[in-house]
Amino acid sequence: PDVIHLEDYRVPDFLIEHVELHVDLGDGGTRVGSRLTLRRNGEHGRPLVLHGEGLELLSIALDGKSLAAGRYRLDDETLTVEGLGAEAVLETECRIDPDGNTALEGLYRSNGTFCTQCEAEGFRKITWYLDRPDVMARFRTTIVGDRTTQPVMLSNGNPVASGTTGDNRHWVTWEDPFPKPSYLFALVAGDLAVVEDSFTTRSGREVALRIYVEHGNEDRCGHAMTALKHAMAWDERVYGREYDLDIFMIVAVSDFNMGAMENKGLNVFNAKYILAKPETATDVDFDGIESVVAHEYFHNWTGNRVTCRDWFQLTLKEGLTVFRDQQFSADMNSAAVKRIADVQRLRAAQFPEDGGPLAHPIQPQSYIEINNFYTATVYEKGAEVIRMIHRLLGTDGFRKGSDLYFERHDGQAVTTEDFVAAMEDANDADLGQFRRWYVQAGTPRLICSGDYDAADGSYLLTVRQETPATPGQPEKAPLHMPFAVGLIGRDGADLPLRLAGENSAEAGTRVLQLREAESRFRFVDIPERPVASLLRGFSAPVRLEFAQPAEDLAFRMAHDSDDFNRWEAAQELQNKVLLGLVADRRAGRPLVLPDMLAEALGTALDDDGADPSLLALMLTLPGEVMLAQHMEVIDVEAIHDVREFAVKALAERLRDRLLARYRACHAAARPGFDGASMAARHLQNACLAYLSQLDDIGRETALAQYRERRTMTETMAALARIAASDWPERDEALADFHAAWRNDPLVIDKWFTVQATAARADTLEHVLALAGHEDFTLRNPNRVRALIGAFASANPTAFHRADGAGYDFVAERILALDASNPQVAARLIAPFGQWRRYDKARQERMLNQLKRIVSQPGLSKDVREVASKSLN
Ligand code: HT7
Ligand code: ZN
């Protein structure tokens, strides 16, 4: 296979100044005319080589003259034209087939609506082009369509002309004044409803905001619109960035490979991240909409105005934009709860990636298929790297750096190095060693120890860092990182911190800087043995190893001034207890829940002053997938049994307090999307997860919550309990839910997921039946993720069934899906890549499935790359 290497980067041989597209949409195929104004880039005699895939050539002309067959060469992936002058105009016309486009890349149809997805390399499926991000051109796009079936026809920029052509057809021309790479091109045409609003920028410009959806969904756009306006105001306030066109459009489509796409002025969204009302969407969905709408909007500056030179720089726009959307959501809601959610996501998806065969730095050095590198590492770890720069430079320093970055590079396609250099230059800082984060893969371990010396009142903190070897990187160098710490006194307050040799002490959190393989910090004037709170706010993306006694963890759960670390202390205590129970079970010892865990959680439940959402997170035991990360060889059944045992034992011990909190939250929550109601529902559902395990009231509580149908958040939490149960009402409730929502695809996705993730011995049989259900299709990525993705990544006992039937089911679907949508198929392989973590029998079964996938004839390069790398 062709491997692309960063070190082979060369500037483009030609630049494109202007593009005129003429897209004639039709039921029997679409004709795309293109007129490229080209300029030779530098002194050379090389031919023009344009990218193009799956295009049927209809005509070609250079500088106004039709080209004879010998003057150009066509193959499966390129069009080569010799003999261009320093400046040239190339015109081509081709036919493409959007209806046959099941890969959802390029121009395709979703529920009748024409739409595009061009990142990363989809534009070459629309016309021949220099489809690389460092070629930035001005686009003028004319769309011709049917007046009845495509009354709405959109592209980037502003509409500048329109008309009709007879035959019930019409046309519209859009012009985008900002030069952009082809991956930001978009076109949408269909019969869509529009919801309108407006935003006045701080310099007084009025921007029309439009959200286009399928008819009937107009009442589900309110939350997305509000999120958009909040994001626009936030980017002005926090980064000084204003929107730059007169119109900002969002289109929601039902068939979409990822979450959304930041095309200039015309974002295209997976409907899941736009459509919501409390009856149909959960609070998690509402939060997801707010952050994805903001993320795509923020790309207008971090990605569009300043874009990537090449795809190895992907984290330049994605890591930075994820960091910005995380900051935004933290400002809009509870910052601690948001930080916890972000870290949970990093640990669930990125840590396994970084410790497995697909580990890569946030700036990969090579790839076969770039679509495979839209990873948790590039996005989530990339955001953590930016967050560390923010910590090291401070809020004002970071803002100075981002101002300089935009000032220097507006309108350019740049590298991560340009970003780091702007941060350094604006702050006169040295990020030399810090740059290793961009090129070194693997999750560092921070091995910490603390020694209190009562005689001289000092506390010595020793921190050793070690990054495990990753494929192709056996040796690792020490990294520069911020390490936020606090020392808590016996009264629960943070002690003032002064390092030996310093003159004054500061109370609260201290941000230390780690650079060496081993660092030592001696704090002085410490009057009593403190309880250390390390890595506050998760100040670096590492695994912290610090043996802290259970009593200290319980103390921090009650007193840590850093809310993230209060939760983290609860997690650590729960991990300790549950992994101890796993060892007991494996040794055949009886399971006994230690009193102190119930007491610590009981104390948390009594804390009326704490954010209910934070309490919900503290009460929720680490999931099976998270617990598994702490085992040398993952014992799927033991983890599952022990977790179930602990939930039930805690429910019995804390019954009255759980019930009281449950009732209070239920009374406090209103159906809307206000912070207090969402937090109350969060705690209500965390309590329900315990209460539903009780033999006497569990069933009636869950069924009553389900039957009440107050909000989708409550309904789904109850249905999840019911779906996992053996209660006689189970089948009836699932049938009832399906009947109620059969016409609402986003809700039916939830129905599939709740069954795919149910922890039952017969889940695989249910999932097999669901794969044959009339509502199941491999053609819709959301549906695939709802059933197959959820089963493989969120139901460990069923996916890792000892007989290997779970593996067989998923591998078979990956192969089937590869024929129509390789990008989505490749993303389903990740759980197989973790094979080394399991027992020998499971290892062999997982490897056999990977080998089966790799040996399939005609496999896409997407699936081949991931499956073959996963074998290592
Ligand atoms: N920049 C986008 C990444 C993307 C994508 C989106 C939709 C479908 C296919 C895609 N390939 C890559 C989304 C984002 O990060 O904002
Ligand atoms: Zn993005």
List pLDDT tens digits, range 511-527.
999 999 999 999 999 99
The arithmetic mean of pLDDT across residues 843-872, rounded, is: 98
> Of these residues, 121, 262, 296, 380, which one is catalytic?
296
Cα–Cα distance for residue pair 225/257, rounded to 1 Å? 22
Residues with Cβ within 8 Å of residue 221, at least 6 apart in sequence:
195, 211, 213, 252, 274, 275
Instruction: Assign a CATH topology to domain 742-872.
Output: Zincin-like fold (1.25.50)
pLDDT reported for residue 470: 98
Residues with Cβ within 8 Å of residue 583, at least 6 apart in sequence:
none
The arithmetic mean of pLDDT across residues 358-370, rounded, is: 98
pLDDT reported for residue 570: 98
pLDDT reported for residue 133: 98
482 has pLDDT over 90? yes
The arithmetic mean of pLDDT across residues 179-199, rounded, is: 99
Cα–Cα distance for residue pair 734/767, rounded to 1 Å? 14
pLDDT reported for residue 163: 98
pLDDT reported for residue 464: 98
Is there a catalytic annotation at residue 218? Answer: no
Model pLDDT for residues 709-721, shown as the tens digit of each residue: 999 999 999 999 9
Asked if 267 contacts 296 with a C-beta cutoff of 8 angstroms, the reply is yes
651 has pLDDT over 80? yes
pLDDT reported for residue 335: 98
Asked if 851 contacts 833 with a C-beta cutoff of 8 angstroms, the reply is no
The arithmetic mean of pLDDT across residues 232-254, rounded, is: 98
Which residue has the least CA distance to atom 14 on ligand 1?
Answer: 261
pTM for the predicted model, two decimal places: 0.99
The arithmetic mean of pLDDT across residues 476-497, rounded, is: 98
For the chain, how big is the Rg over CA atoms in Å? 28
Q: Which ligand has the minimum distance to the alpha carbon of residue 320?
A: 2
Asked if 20 contacts 34 with a C-beta cutoff of 8 angstroms, the reply is yes
Cα–Cα distance for residue pair 346/378, rounded to 1 Å? 11
Indicate the top mutation candidate among 108, 182, 258, 378 to test ligand 1's pocket, ranked by most ligand atoms within 8 A of CB: 258
Degrees (nearest 5) of the Cα angle 131, 134, 140? 60
pLDDT reported for residue 518: 98
Indicate the top mutation candidate among 119, 123, 183, 293 to test ligand 1's pocket, ranked by most ligand atoms within 8 A of CB: 119
Domain ranges of the chain: 13-191, 307-439, 445-540, 742-872
Asked if 270 contacts 259 with a C-beta cutoff of 8 angstroms, the reply is yes
CA dihedral 331, 412, 407, 120 (to 10 degrees): 0
**445-540: CATH, from 1.10.10.10, 2.60.40.1840, 3.30.70.960, 3.20.20.80:** 2.60.40.1840
Which residue has the least CA distance to atom 4 on ligand 1?
Answer: 119
Asked if 110 contacts 254 with a C-beta cutoff of 8 angstroms, the reply is yes
Atom of ligand 1 at shortest range from CA of 256:
8
688 has pLDDT over 90? yes
pLDDT reported for residue 1: 73
Q: Span 13-191: which CATH code?
A: 2.60.40.1730
Asked if 671 contacts 710 with a C-beta cutoff of 8 angstroms, the reply is yes
334 has pLDDT over 90? yes
784 alpha carbon to ligand 1 midpoint, in Å?
18
Model pLDDT for residues 115-159, shown as the tens digit of each residue: 999 999 999 999 999 999 999 999 999 999 999 999 999 999 999
Distances (CA, A) of 481 to 379, 390, 514, 749, 761: 19, 11, 5, 41, 45
The arithmetic mean of pLDDT across residues 432-444, rounded, is: 98
Ligand 1, CB cutoff 6 Å, lining residues: 117, 119-120, 257-258, 260-262, 295-296, 299, 318, 374
Mean pLDDT of the chain: 98
Neighbouring-strand partners of residue 302:
306
CA max distance for the chain: 94
Long-range Cβ contacts of 807-810 (<8 Å, 24+ apart): 807/832, 807/845, 807/846, 807/849, 808/849, 809/764, 809/767, 809/768, 809/771, 810/849
Model pLDDT for residues 290-308, shown as the tens digit of each residue: 999 999 999 999 999 999 9
The arithmetic mean of pLDDT across residues 400-408, rounded, is: 99
Which two structure tokens, joined as six digits, stand for 381?
């770890």
Distances (CA, A) of 264 to 135, 207, 225, 426, 693: 15, 14, 18, 28, 50
622 alpha carbon to ligand 2 midpoint, in Å?
28
Cα–Cα distance for residue pair 473/849, rounded to 1 Å? 27
Pick the closest to residue 96 from 116, 80, 75 (CA basis).
116
99 has pLDDT over 80? yes
Q: Span 307-439: which CATH code?
A: 1.10.390.10
- Is 742-872 in the same CATH topology as 13-191? no
657 alpha carbon to ligand 1 midpoint, in Å?
45
Indicate the top mutation candidate among 374, 375, 782, 824 to test ligand 1's pocket, ranked by most ligand atoms within 8 A of CB: 374
The fraction of the chain above a pLDDT of 70, given in percent, is: 100
Model pLDDT for residues 707-754, shown as the tens digit of each residue: 999 999 999 999 999 999 999 999 999 999 999 999 999 999 999 999
586 has pLDDT over 80? yes
72 alpha carbon to ligand 2 midpoint, in Å?
37
Cα–Cα distance for residue pair 28/57, rounded to 1 Å? 16
401 has pLDDT over 90? yes
